[in-house]
Amino acid sequence: MKVLVTGATGSVGSAIVSKLVAEGHKVCGGSRHAAQPGRLPAGAEGMVLDFDQPATFGPALAGAEAVVLVAPPGDTQADVKMIPFIDLALGAGATTFVLISAMGIEFAPDSTLGKLEAYLAARAPRYTFLRPTFFMQNLSTGFFAQAFAYGGLRYNAAEGKVGFISTDDIAAVAAAALASPAHHGQAYPLTGPEALDHHQVVAAINRAAGTRFTYTPLSDAQMRQEMLATGMPAESAEFFVNLFAGVAQGHSAAVLPTVQAITGRAPISFEQFAQANAHHWQRMALAKQAAA
Ligand SMILES: NC(=O)c1ccc[n+]([C@@H]2O[C@H](COP(=O)([O-])OP(=O)(O)OC[C@H]3O[C@@H](n4cnc5c(N)ncnc54)[C@H](OP(=O)(O)O)[C@@H]3O)[C@@H](O)[C@H]2O)c1
């Protein structure tokens, strides 16, 4: 099957591309930077795709029977931009869609991802929604990793726990969803095998990498102030304050059997993930030393 994966240079998109290539699919990876050498996992064809540039949609979709949709994170207009892309995909003959949604989206139908779910559910011949919790990769290569170059994590998450999931497990579920009609019409909440607070997460990273990072719990007001001080727009800062306040209240502590049930194997633990990714944090510890 020819599959187009959007967001293919990002945390979850690149994991999905790697998994589908390994399974023998013909994979196209779409992103604004997909044509740059080394941005995509080996074995995939890079297709320039920019949801702000509709002229890129047709060429990216050429021949795709299935589309894995990864919305640009934090873009509150992503649904408006991606719906014409979905329409074009349907018109061009794509039949199967996997949307990377988010845990709890069923309580936020007016959110970007909620609207994309509703649009696909009403029109796509086959669709599966994956609703993962926080990615482990946020802390190694993703948005939150840079905090380690400044000594560690600082959130208003208190001692709230998170069932962190590896994007490799999300990719395994995405591959299963494409492979079997049994997953069509389903929405799967996805977590890792255990819930950890951020003290435990940083301790696992320090054990694996030999580092001395810390987690500092902040009040909501401190968190807001620190995010705004980085130059972050107020709307985004408020999003993160609310996100981690929800963690503090225990909203992300669920641990679910979905990954095991769909893939037949236990999801990756944070300890395993930390061991495999120690080099990222060792590099950031060196960056901190160099800046001191
Ligand atoms: N991170 C989490 O913990 C988490 C949890 C639940 C759900 N999610 C959802 O998962 C999705 C992906 O998250 P992620 O952490 O993998 O994000 P990420 O690592 O930041 O990757 C985002 C991807 O989107 C692409 N992109 C950005 N703007 C684009 C545009 N205008 N047109 C086309 N492509 C664009 C980027 O590629 P280029 O820059 O090369 O264009 C990149 O490949 C998001 O929708 C997020 O809401 C994330």
* 84 and 213 belong to one structural domain: no
In a domain, 8, yes or no: yes
Of the pLDDT bands very low, low, confident and very high (cuts 50, 70, 90), residue 278 is: very high
For 5-36, b/e burial (b = at least 16 CB within 10 A) is bbbbbbbbbbbbbbbbbebebbbbbbbbebee
- The yes-or-no verdict on residue 110 having pLDDT over 90 is yes
pLDDT at 229: 95
Which ligand 1 atom lies nearest to the CA of residue 143?
20
* 138 and 202 belong to one structural domain: yes
- The yes-or-no verdict on residue 289 having pLDDT over 90 is no
Which ligand 1 atom lies nearest to the CA of residue 78?
31
Q: Which residue has the tokens 């497990």?
A: 169
pLDDT at 116: 98
Å from CA of 289 to ligand 1 middle:
30
Q: Is the CB of 70 under 6 A from ligand 1?
A: yes
Å from CA of 70 to ligand 1 middle:
6
Please tell me the distance from the alpha carbon of residue 165 to that of residue 196, in angstroms, as a whole number. Answer: 11
Residue 2's H or E segment, with its range, is strand 2-6
* Protein residue with its CA nearest to atom 19 in ligand 1: 10
Q: Is the CB of 189 under 6 A from ligand 1?
A: no
Q: Is the CB of 102 under 6 A from ligand 1?
A: yes
CATH number of the domain encompassing residue 288: 3.90.25.10
In a domain, 181, yes or no: no
Determine how many CB atoms are found less than 10 A away from the CB of residue 250.
Answer: 14
pLDDT at 76: 86
Query: What would the two tokens of residue 164 be?
Result: 């962190």
- The yes-or-no verdict on residue 291 having pLDDT over 90 is no
Pair 87, 117: CB distance under 8 Å: no
* 123 and 17 belong to one structural domain: yes
Range of the domain at 91: 2-132
In order of 96, 194, 217, the CA distances from 250 in angstroms are 35, 14, 15
pLDDT at 1: 86
* 275 and 196 belong to one structural domain: yes
Pair 134, 196: CB distance under 8 Å: no
Q: pLDDT, tens digit, for every residue of 215-271?
A: 999 999 999 999 999 999 998 899 999 999 999 999 999 999 999 999 999 999 999
- The yes-or-no verdict on residue 74 having pLDDT over 90 is no
* Protein residue with its CA nearest to atom 1 in ligand 1: 135
Torsion, Cα of 175, 180, 186, 187 (10° steps): -10
In a domain, 185, yes or no: no
What total number of domains does the chain contain? 2
Q: Is the CB of 9 under 6 A from ligand 1?
A: yes
* 112 and 45 belong to one structural domain: yes
Which ligand 1 atom lies nearest to the CA of residue 8?
43
- Tell me what the mean pLDDT of segment 10-26 comes to: 97
Which of 18, 28, 70, 139 is the best mutation target for the ligand 1 pocket, counting ligand atoms within 8 Å of the beta carbon and taking the most?
A: 70
In a domain, 104, yes or no: yes
Please tell me the distance from the alpha carbon of residue 171 to that of residue 21, in angstroms, as a whole number. Answer: 11
- The yes-or-no verdict on residue 287 having pLDDT over 90 is no
Please tell me the distance from the alpha carbon of residue 275 to that of residue 281, in angstroms, as a whole number. Answer: 11
* 159 and 98 belong to one structural domain: no
In order of 11, 83, 179, 235, 254, the CA distances from 232 in angstroms are 21, 27, 40, 8, 29
pTM surpassing 0.85? yes
In a domain, 176, yes or no: no
Q: Is the CB of 256 under 6 A from ligand 1?
A: no
Å from CA of 290 to ligand 1 middle:
30
Q: Is the CB of 33 under 6 A from ligand 1?
A: yes
